[in-house]
Amino acid sequence: MSVRSILVGVVFTLTSLTVLSAQEELVQPEEVHAVDGVVTDTLTLAISPITVAGKTLTSRLYNGTSPGPTYRLHRGELLRVLLKNQLPPNPDQDSADQGNFPQRLNTTNLHTHGLNVSPSDSSDNVLLEILPGTDFQFHIQLPTDHAAGTYWYHPHHHTSTYGQVVSGLAGTIIVEDVNDPLVTDPALLAIEDRIFVFSLFQYDTATNTLPYPVRNTSAATAFSPYGTVTDTPVLVNGMLNPKVTFRPGEIQRWRMINATYEMNIDVSFMKIVEGDTTQVAHQAIANDGLYFNAMRTSSHEIIPTGARLDFLVTAPSEPGEYVMQVLTRDRQLVAQPDPQFITIVVAGDPIVPTMSMPTRLPIPMAQGDIRDDEITGSRTIVFNVGDFANLATDPTVVSRSFTIDNAPFDHNVVNITLQSGAVEEWTIINNSTDFHPFHIHVNEFQAIEKNGVKFDPPIWWDVMLLDTMSTYKIRHRFGPASGKTVMHCHYLPHEDWGMMNLIDILPKSTSIDEAPWTTPVAFPNPVVGRIDQVNVNIPEFLSGRTLNISLHNVEGNLVTSQTIDPSLKRQVSIDVSTLPAGTYYLLVNDGGVYRESDMIVLVR
C-alpha cells in the first residue's frame, strides 16, 4: 500500500515538461564493503566547498562530499566508523542553554537510521555529544537475523540535527540480501542497485553558507533560527535532473532515501510521446528496508521525510521518452513548483537472455507478522502542537509547544520505560493539524490500523507519516538490546524544537510488571493527582481472555482486584476515593504473556 492511499487529500500530479538533453549520468556514492566481516571507515566532518545546482556553497560535509559513502554489509557483521569532528568550536558553547531550540551547531553524533542495533555506548547512541576537535570510534554490530534492506545514517545531536542535515550530512547503509536461493530469489540477487539519496542544502544567499543559529529573543527568531535562508532544489546524489542508463532487457533496483529535513518526495514514472504523458508502472518491493509480502505494481509513491522506498525498474522496450518525476511536497503535502526529472535512457548491448523479475520476495521479518497472542503490553502516544498566542511576548514558547504526550523533550527525563523482548501495541494519536512523520530508533513497527480501518496486509515501517487529526495502531517487537533511545517527529525542525521522547529499554531480567514496587525508577512519569477513580482501558486484542486487574500499595500488598472478560468490557473503573495519599501500583495481566503496570501517586 502506497503512502498516498493512506493519506487524505493527496492528488497525483502529472506535470507538463520539456525533456532535458545533455544530462549527466547519475553518480553513485563511493562504496565501502565488509572485509572479514567488518566495514571499516573514517568519516571526517569538516567545512568544505561543494557545488550543487550550479552554485558553490561552503558546508559541513562528510569527507568533503554529499552524500557520504555507502556502507555495504551482511547481517551479523560489524560497522566500525571513526567519526572525526573537525568543525570549528561552537560560538555559543558557553552560552546559556536554550532548551529545545537550534544551538551548538558543530556538536554532532551518528544515527544509523533503521538498524536494529544497540542504542548504547559506541553503537547507535544518539545521546552522545561529540564536540568539535574530538574523535569518536563507533562499533555497530548487526544481529545475525537482521533484516536485509535499505538504511541510512545522519547526525542526530539534539538541537543541531536540523542544521547538520540541511548541510548535506547523510549516507546509505545496505544490509545485503542473503545469498541463499531458499531465502532470496536468485533473480533478485542478479539485479544491480542504483542508490538515490534525495537531499537539499540551506544557505544564506549573502554568504553561500548556513549561518550559526541566532539566540531566541523574539517571535521572528523563534521560527527562523538560522535567519533568512534559501533552500536549493531537492537533489539526487547531489545532482539535478540526471539520467540513468539501462541496457536493453535490464532490470535495476532503485533504492530511494528521503534525506531531506522536512520535505516529502513524490515520485512518478512517466512516458512521454509527442507531448502526451502517461503513467508507467514498475514493481515496488520494500518500505524502509523491509520487503512487502509480494511485489506491488505502482507508478506513483510518496516517500516521507526519513523514509525509504525500493523499486524494481525495467528498461523500456517501446518508443518514447521515459522519466521519473521527482515532485517535492512540503510539511502539509502541498506540491511545490519546479519538479526535477530523472531520465531513463536505454543504450548499449542487450542483456541476453532478458533479465527476469523475481517470483517471490524475502520474508521481511523472520518472526512474521505480530500476533495478538504475542503482545505483552499496550500504551497510547499523543502528538500535539501547542498554542503560540504568547509568542510575541515569550518566544521561548516554541521550545515547549511541540510535544509527545504533553511533554517536550528533556535529556534528563525518561518518558517511556519498557523491557527488552517486549511486544507492544501502541495507539498513536495525532491531535494536531500538522502531519508528523513518526520514527522510533533501533526498532521497526507494524502498522495495523488507521482510524478504525485495518491495513490489509499490515505494513512494516520505521517512519510513518501521521495524517492530521488521526489515530493509528501499531505493533512492535523490541529486540534483546537495552539502553536509552528516542522516538520523534522526523520533520527535523519539529525534533529540534522538542517533539521527541526519551525511551529507556530495560534489561529483560527486571521485574517491572511482576513486582513493580521493587523497581520504582521504571516509572518516571507516574499518574499524580487528587484522583477518586482510576479508569483502565482494555485493548481489543485481549477479547476472549480472562483479565485480572489489581491495585497494590507501595509495599506490594494487595488493595483491591477484579477479574473481567475483555469481550464484555472495554473499560474498567476502580474506586480509590477512600484510599489515603501515597504511592500505588496498578497491575493488569491475562495469566499469560500480557502484563502491564503503572504507578499512581494519590494526593489528598
The model's pLDDT over 58-111, given as tens digits with 9 standing for 90+, comes to 999 999 999 999 999 999 999 999 999 999 999 999 999 999 999 999 999 999
Q: What is the pLDDT of residues 23-66, one digit of tens each?
A: 899 999 999 999 999 999 999 999 999 999 999 999 999 999 99
Task: Give the separation between CA 83 and CA 117, rounded to whole angstroms.
Answer: 18
The residues near 75 (Cβ < 8 Å, ≥ 6 apart) are 142, 143, 144, 145, 146, 147, 148, 175, 178
pTM (whole model) above 0.95 = no
395 three-class SS: helix
Q: What is the pLDDT of residues 188-202, one digit of tens each?
A: 999 999 999 999 999
> What pLDDT shows up at residue 512?
65
Task: Give the separation between CA 242 and CA 344, rounded to whole angstroms.
Answer: 9
> What pLDDT shows up at residue 23?
82
Model confidence at 471, pLDDT cuts 50, 70, 90, reads very high
DSSP string, 235-283: EETTBSS-EEEE-TT-EEEEEEEE-SSS-EEEEEEEEEETTEEEE--EE
Task: Give the separation between CA 300 and CA 284, rounded to whole angstroms.
Answer: 10
Mean pLDDT across the chain:
93
Task: Give the separation between CA 363 and CA 455, rounded to whole angstroms.
Answer: 18
Mean pLDDT of 579-594: 91
The residues near 35 (Cβ < 8 Å, ≥ 6 apart) are none
At residue 333, does pLDDT exceed 60? yes
> What pLDDT shows up at residue 570?
85
Contact 598/526 with Cβ under 8 angstroms?
Answer: yes
Contact 283/295 with Cβ under 8 angstroms?
Answer: yes
> What pLDDT shows up at residue 591?
87
Task: Give the separation between CA 162 and CA 156, rounded to whole angstroms.
Answer: 8
Task: Give the separation between CA 306 and CA 143, rounded to whole angstroms.
Answer: 23
Q: Quick count: other Cβ atoms within 10 Å of Cβ 537? A: 11
Kindly list the domain boundaries of the chain, sorted by start residue.
Answer: 524-604
> What pLDDT shows up at residue 523?
82
Contact 349/398 with Cβ under 8 angstroms?
Answer: no
CATH class of the domain defined by 524-604: mainly beta
Task: Give the separation between CA 58 and CA 209, rounded to whole angstroms.
Answer: 5
Phi, psi of 398 (to 5 degrees): -65, -30
CA angle 537–540–546, rounded 5-degree value: 80
* pLDDT above 70: percentage of residues in the chain: 96
Contact 108/85 with Cβ under 8 angstroms?
Answer: yes
Cell 535532473 locates to: 241
Mean pLDDT of 357-378: 94
Lowest mean pLDDT among 48-52, 316-320, 399-403, 493-497: 316-320
> What pLDDT shows up at residue 325?
96
Contact 189/358 with Cβ under 8 angstroms?
Answer: no
Task: Give the separation between CA 185 and CA 194, rounded to whole angstroms.
Answer: 19
Q: What is the pLDDT of residues 284-319, one digit of tens each?
A: 999 999 999 999 999 999 999 999 999 999 999 988
506: enclosing H helix or E strand? strand 500-506
**Dihedral sign, Cα of residue 123, residue 129, residue 131, residue 134:** negative
